[in-house]
Amino acid sequence: MSIISKLKKHNILGRSGSGFPVGLKWEIVKQAKANKKYIVVNGAEGEPNVFKDKYILENYPEEIIQGIKIALETIDNSSAYIYLRKDYYKKFSKDLKKLIKGLPIELFEKTGGYLAGEETVVCQAIEGGKLEPRIKPPFPSQEGLWGCPTLINNVETFYCVSKIAKNEYKNNKFYSISHDIKHKGVYELPEDSTIKQILKQTNNLPDFDFFVQAGGGASGEFLLSKELNRQVKGIGSIIVYNRDTTNAFFLMKKLVEFFHKENCDKCVPCREGIYRINEMFERKQIDKKTLKDLFFVLEETSFCPFGKGAVNSLMSLYSKLLK
Amino acid sequence: MSKDKKISITINGKKIKANSGQTILEAALNNGIDIPALCFHSDLKIKSNCRMCLVEIKGKKGLHASCSTKAESGMEVITDSAKINKARKINLELIFSQHCEECGDCIWNFNCELSKLAKKYKVEITRFSDRKKGFPVYQFGPSIIFDSSKCIDCGNCVEVCENQGVNFLEIRKKQNVSQIIPSKDKNKDCIYCGQCITHCPAGAFQAVGEFEDVEKFLKEKRKGKTIIVQFAPAIRTSIGEEFDIPYGTTITGKLVAGIRKLGVDKVFDVSVGADFTTVEEADELIEKIENKETPCLSSCCPSWVKFVEFNYPEFIPNLATTRSPQIILGGLIKTYWAKKQGIAPKDIVVVSIMPCVAKKYEIQRKELEINGLKPVDYVLTTRELAYLFKKHKINLRKLKPQKSDAALGVSSGAGVIYGASGGVAESTLRTAYAKISGKKLSKIEFKQVRGMKEVKKAIININGRKIKLVVANGIGNAKKILEELKKNPKVYDAVEVMACPGGCIGGGGQPVPSNEINRKERAKGLYKIDAGKEIRMAHENPIIKKIYKDFLNNSQIIHLVCHTKYSAKKKENKF
């Protein structure tokens, strides 16, 4: 059975947060007609409080390289980049280079911030262009690096590929668990686990009143303790907050500042909308109608997933804990 | 799939045809369906920044930017719904939070897309406080003003500046928000082409003196001065747009009548100056070919000249020393004509109407002075003249055509096509051909160098001698040619460059909007004038012959009135 068939059979979804079917992506790139194709391993890991790619780079570098090797064999005329955030590059490049040996794999040190993990911005970064998202379509799998079909997958996805190839895949996923808990860390658990199960199994279920942000430390949705019988959407992370010791207004203010600083200023809703939300939080004068309107245009009209991600986190936090 | 393949889509229930590969916005605009779009310009890449052109597509979730979504066969598009209108209204309010302005002095005047949309979507313009209050106003040389407090960050100016190979305008983050600012890099400087002006949807760029100083020259009349207005070739088919006259309509006579109504003493046609430029440049070209000193680079575009002086000074010896048409005619007015009329040159004020803002820079060049006097005292753009007409309640539509003053004659057809890219090269070739071969051209038109194409090449055979010609519009294209010449100086003998798209007809001083549609028509109008002229070669123009015989009859005077020199330039715009 080919790797693509196996990926499809196991219904593997990308581990970057967007959850695109991996088998389908590989098939598109494989079938694209081009003299040159690229593979990019995305190790940008820009969401705050998410550190599972780091964990995998540290503990399973052979599996990652094995996964890339399979991709190189599957996709003709291809070469690969491992795109790593600065500190990961420093920490892991030496070991990775040893494993790469003669393979056509290059390491690339990430430039830019949060947004530089978005797949089209990754292409811009590697090409040395402006760190702004590109119009989609064309998707990178059609026209990515230098206009060539490009397979971009998360570090964890390549780990999964190597496991699947060896028939060792157990439908697991990596979860970063952090903040007001006792056992901070990365855990490999079944991908259909609920948040509650994960917290329980890792001995992290608090005995105090709490809420969580699941699926990314910036864009993840905020959930109350009664809403935990569901899987983690987006990237595998759970951040636990003690409800009594956490100032939700301050938390939101920090998040808004983050989005204000990290957005690329390209489109009106992100540049101007987040500017105005930030202004309201700085002045501590929240106009509910305006906030609602700004969430609306961010959600509906922003250029790239950044705006939607911001709304996903900010709106859930505001409506559940601040209103 | 062939590009011409037609598909059909439905917009607001109406079935329309679209070309395969077209975006929804393009298909809509082609079919007369209006979708608001601010950052869209047919010259530029799709950026999809302003998020105004939002539409709904049946079967697809959410709102979609029509500028960046391809039309697909059978697609059902809605451009007007409560959700769309709400999103547009809020985004407009955010745009206006960068653009709280008084509208009186804006180049978009009554044609402002922003204010039209504000009305349509009942926008609360001051919902948010003015984020850009107190943002700096920059002046670039004597040509351009950039009021960054009006900027809506669409990035069009940065893109045109980059396309020009100039890269003077940059986006920089300041306190977590991007701003458009002039570059501090000592190797980047403005060349005053003014394409930022014609591509800005928000009127953040304008010419220096565009509004306040526009009447200054008329006041000189009170000081007993003789006021001469001379108008450029490219104006006659463009200024009509400001008075709702269809694109490309030739209104030379109405233009002359309008200028006279302002109360000036004489109205001359710069196309006559262009005939002198042609004759001199043809001589230079021939000389350079004979002395094996090619390539010969054209020099009547002041932005191009500044670009060479600043970015490629090693090519200065190749620039034709012939002065541009407005400078030669201005010089002749203050020498030959002044003497004939018995007026002291210092009592003459020459005002040029130009499609260009770089011409404001050109007239300040010291080396052009004749006996201590500038050949031209003021430059007004096409837009400025239109503004002045409107201020004086002069409606070009209603005027009876008049002829320009005959004291400096009538131009040949060659002088008129100067306004379009390729026009200078064609005019020069017509004359150079006759001079080298001693024969009359059987076919006078050099169609290879006409049209809107960015780079046009031709090999012209004169008496067995092959002249390799290249014509470029847009400095970015010219830059590529210079790089080619750096590698091999023999690839071209003659190079014509105009900084603006399509040549002067797309100049930075022309009416807005300025895009591929109206530029084409403006150029067509000029070629039509040429085709209808009896005399189509500069050197055959009787007034040219007469002035060379009576006045420009020794090399010293020819040099004084018709030639100039260039020098390497340092950065002029530092902030």
Q: What is the ipTM of this complex?
A: 0.94
Nearest-CB residue to A297 (from B90, B98, B171): B90
Nearest-CB residue to A293 (from B65, B90, B171): B90
The pLDDT tens digits for B199-224 are: 999 999 999 988 888 888 999 888 99
For chain B, positions 126-155, list CB contacts with chain A under 8 A.
Answer: 127-128, 131, 153, 155
A211 touches B at CB < 8 Å: no
Confidence of residue B1 (pLDDT cuts 50, 70, 90): very low
Residues 6+ apart with CB under 8 A from B453: none
Name the minimum distance, in Å, from the CA of B69 to any CA of chain A: 8
| A260/B91 CB distance under 8 A | no
Cα separation, B332 vs B561, whole angstroms:
7
Over chain B, what is the mean pLDDT?
94
Q: Which residues of chain B lie closer than 8 angstroms to A273, CB-CB? A: 94
Q: H helices then E strands: how many in chain A?
A: 13, 9
The pLDDT tens digits for A18-42 are: 889 999 999 999 999 999 999 999 9
Q: Which amino acid is at A130?
A: K
Name the minimum distance, in Å, from the CA of A227 to any CA of chain B: 26
Q: Is B455 helix (H, G, I), strand (E, B) or coil?
A: strand
For chain A, positions 212-271, list CB contacts with chain B under 8 A.
Answer: 260-261, 265-269, 271
Q: What Rg value do the Cα atoms of chain B yield, rounded?
A: 25
| B94/A273 CB distance under 8 A | yes
Phi, psi of A112 (to 5 degrees): 80, -175
Cα separation, A310 vs A315, whole angstroms:
8
| A265/B98 CB distance under 8 A | no
Cα separation, B557 vs B342, whole angstroms:
19
The burial of A130, by beta-carbon neighbours within 10 Å (0-12 exposed, 13-18 middle, 19 or more buried), is given as middle
The pLDDT assigned to B465 comes to 86
The pLDDT assigned to B111 comes to 84
The pLDDT tens digits for A265-314 are: 999 999 999 999 999 999 999 999 999 999 999 999 999 999 999 999 99
Which residue do the tokens 């911001």 mark? A310
The pLDDT assigned to B2 comes to 46
| A269/B176 CB distance under 8 A | no
The pLDDT tens digits for B406-418 are: 888 899 999 999 9
Are A115 and A306 a contacting pair, CB within 8 Å? yes
Interface probe with B: pick from A297, A299, A311, most Cβ of B within 10 Å: A297
The pLDDT tens digits for B447-462 are: 999 999 999 999 988 8
**Given 3-state DSSP classes, what are the helix, strand and coil percentages for chain A, each rounded to the nearest 5?**
50, 15, 35
C-alpha dist (Å) from residue A196 to A184, A222, A225, A312: 15, 14, 9, 20
Q: Which residues of chain B lie closer than 8 angstroms to A275, CB-CB? A: 131, 177
Nearest-CB residue to A267 (from B51, B62, B90): B51
Nearest-CB residue to A265 (from B91, B131, B178): B178
Confidence of residue B441 (pLDDT cuts 50, 70, 90): confident
Intervals of chain A under pLDDT 70: none
The burial of B466, by beta-carbon neighbours within 10 Å (0-12 exposed, 13-18 middle, 19 or more buried), is given as exposed
Name the minimum distance, in Å, from the CA of A286 to any CA of chain B: 13
Cα separation, B548 vs B550, whole angstroms:
6
| B176/A261 CB distance under 8 A | yes
Cα separation, B287 vs B284, whole angstroms:
5
Cα separation, B485 vs B327, whole angstroms:
29
Q: What is the mean pLDDT of residues B284-313?
A: 96
Structure tokens at B251: 């209104």
| B48/A303 CB distance under 8 A | yes
Nearest-CB residue to B95 (from A260, A268, A296): A268
| Nearest of A97, A133, A64 to residue A125 by alpha carbon | A133
The pLDDT tens digits for B412-436 are: 999 999 999 999 999 999 999 998 8
